[in-house]
Amino acid sequence: MSIRLFTSAIRTHLRLHKISVFAPVRYSRGFAPYGKPGSGNYGRTLGKQTVGLIEPLRDRILNRVKSIPFNAKDSVFSIGDYGAADGSASMPFIGQLVANLKDQHGPDAQFQVIYEDTEVNDFNSLFKRVSGIIPDPQVYLPDMDNVYVLASGTDFYKQCVPSNSMHFIMCMISLHWLSETPVKYNNSLYKYPESSAEEKIALDQRAQIDLDTFLLLRSREMKQGGLLFVCALCEIKDVNTERVNVGTLITLLTGIWKEYRDSGEISTEEFFNTHFSFCFRNMDQLRKPFDDKLSAVSKSGLCLLSAETVIIPDIAYTAWKDKKDKEGIDDREEFARLYIATHRTWGNNTFMNGLSDSRSQEEKEKIVDGFYDRVEKRMSKINPEEIKDDLQSIYLVITKK
């Protein structure tokens, strides 16, 4: 598809779904990460869980990248990490990726690595990690010549880089965040089996529109023969009841936030304004743009090479189980501390945003701090076997023909 036809197709897609191409949009994707900027809090908490996400497909992706067309004499090999946070989750893999490509294309080949995230991301921690000021995980940049690191604070529901410029893009557990909140749930923070049909439909429709938008924009950015690797958190169904399982944590967060509402610590309106602006899709939803050969995504040249479900063990549960088995210590308080520290990284901003603007920042922080303290104490009373929260994800490997 020519650039002119592709541009027309993406504008038509966005216009049909009432998404402005140029008008500023208040995006909900992602979060202002919890923790002091520049402290590397993401990598110390959630990053410990997400760093292992690449492992199941690491060798397969490294081999596929070798086949991407690239002339080292005439161009720069461009790598994108979309939804990068502070870079800790992807850094070991990107270091290995660039090292392999240097072996293949020679030491004089040039590479640029573009870390994308929203404008509220902790880019301070990202560059501290890249430069080695924060040394964990091991960085690649100081030891490599002809590798240039850039950052993009443009939301990935917009075009982030020039057209036809990217050889390889990876996006790890960020695609569940939506471009906007399509629904405010009447009595929950996220979609429940008991949610109304209208709530479920509105969420699924927005999720599908956003998926198509994300893929069309990446198609525009990618070179022919380029590779897109996506790891997306997916919807989990109970094998016995076929009911969607929203997870122990979301259920617990919802229940305690209701206690705050019912006790008058927050208002009914504040509860109603607190909602997770994400959607865990299932395999059919993620495959739909590719299986439909007449879709705008298929017509853009994107082709699905593989799609599979992978389960990544919960690090908090694993640490608790190892200590219990090896030392005989059932340390549920430490389990709860690690678990909540990991997940508060992405959840804190949701509760802060739900509180009324009439409250001071200090008052909001006091409420949310107390809330997470209560969640942690409640969780420490529960058997970790009942809370075990493995990450179930769908891995998509996509090329552009």
Is residue 221 in some structural domain?
Answer: yes
CB burial of residue 236 (10 Å; 0-12, 13-18, 19+): middle
Do 207 and 345 lie in a common domain? Answer: no
Is residue 195 in some structural domain?
Answer: no
Do 18 and 130 lie in a common domain? Answer: yes
> How much is the pLDDT for 238?
59
Find all residues with CB under 8 Å of 49, minimum gap 6, and list them. 312, 314, 315, 342, 391
**Which residue do the tokens 């004499």 mark?**
73
CA 273 to CA 186: how far, in whole Å? 9
Do 267 and 377 lie in a common domain? Answer: yes
Structural domain range at position 220: 3-188+200-245+278-313+389-400
> How much is the pLDDT for 12?
56
Is residue 193 in some structural domain?
Answer: no
Is residue 350 in some structural domain?
Answer: yes
Do 374 and 296 lie in a common domain? Answer: no
Do 12 and 24 lie in a common domain? Answer: yes
DSSP run (H or E) holding 304: strand 302-312
> How much is the pLDDT for 186?
87
Distances (CA, A) of 88 to 81, 165, 188: 11, 24, 32
Do 167 and 264 lie in a common domain? Answer: no
Assign residue 168 the CATH number of its domain. 3.40.50.150
What average pLDDT does the segment 344-366 reach? 95
Is residue 111 in some structural domain?
Answer: yes
Do 211 and 175 lie in a common domain? Answer: yes
Q: What is the pLDDT of residues 164-185, one digit of tens each?
A: 999 999 999 899 999 988 888 8
CA 64 to CA 27: how far, in whole Å? 33
Do 142 and 253 lie in a common domain? Answer: no
pLDDT tier for residue 19 given thresholds of 50, 70 and 90: very low
Do 100 and 228 lie in a common domain? Answer: yes
Q: What is the pLDDT of residues 257-284, one digit of tens each?
A: 999 999 999 999 999 999 999 999 999 9
Is residue 355 in some structural domain?
Answer: yes
Q: Is the pLDDT of residue 137 over 80?
A: no
Do 92 and 104 lie in a common domain? Answer: yes
Number of domains in the chain: 2
Among 45-54, 77-86, 130-139, name the most confident range.
77-86
pLDDT-above-70 percentage for the chain: 90
Strand partners for 234: 281
Q: Enumerate the H helices of 294-382 as residue ranges.
A: 296-299, 315-327, 332-354, 361-379
Q: What is the pLDDT of residues 285-317, one digit of tens each?
A: 999 999 999 999 999 999 999 999 998 888 888
Q: What is the pLDDT of residues 172-223, one digit of tens each?
A: 989 999 998 888 888 899 988 778 889 999 999 999 999 999 999 999 999 9
Do 306 and 344 lie in a common domain? Answer: no
Is residue 194 in some structural domain?
Answer: no
3-state secondary structure (DSSP) of residue 385: helix
Do 18 and 122 lie in a common domain? Answer: yes
How do strand 166-172 and strand 76-82 relate by DSSP bridges?
Answer: parallel
CA 246 to CA 249: how far, in whole Å? 8
**Which residue do the tokens 């541009």 mark?**
7
Is residue 115 in some structural domain?
Answer: yes
